[in-house]
Amino acid sequence: MDRNELEAIERLLRRERDKILRSLGRFQQQSKLSRESADADLSSYSFHMADQGTDAMEREKSFLFASKEGRYLYRIEEALRRLIKDPEAFGICHGCKKDIPFQRLEALPHARYCLDCKLREEEEKAA
């Protein structure tokens, strides 16, 4: 992979990282606002069972979203570390040791496997 392609991938990774951090920041603000508004109420509990269920479901969805974003952030950060630590080895499949096509890295900049190896891995997990 040439220097221009590596720089393009690094920009993509940094852009994705910034997007995720903003998203997690919004989640944190929303959580804080929810807690503050609940503190302002006489009771932080809903009066109706259906409201309690809705509130619990919304909290669970928010936490699942934040967890998923956190895992994605980890993969992006890990790819940036690989790129910075050893740029010559970045873009080489961890399975077959062949080059990962630039188009795949452009679409999924944190990819560690070429498409063939990734499909094989997913088939093995499904079996």
pLDDT tens for 22-47 read 988 888 777 776 655 554 555 555 56
| Cα 104 → chain centroid | 17
Is the confidence at residue 89, as pLDDT, over 70? yes
The answer to whether the beta carbons of residues 62 and 30 sit under 8 Å apart is yes
- Distance linking the first and last C-alpha atoms of the chain: 34
> Which tens digits make up the pLDDT trace of 114-127?
999 999 999 999 97
pLDDT of residue 29: 78
pTM: 0.75
Residue of 81, 83, 114 whose CA lies nearest to 97: 114
pLDDT of residue 73: 95
| H helix count then E strand count, the chain | 4, 0
Phi, psi of 77 (to 5 degrees): -60, -40
Cα 4 from Cα 57, distance rounded (Å): 46
Specify the DSSP class assigned to residue 41: S
The angle formed by the CA atoms of residues 70, 75 and 81, to the nearest 5 degrees, is 120
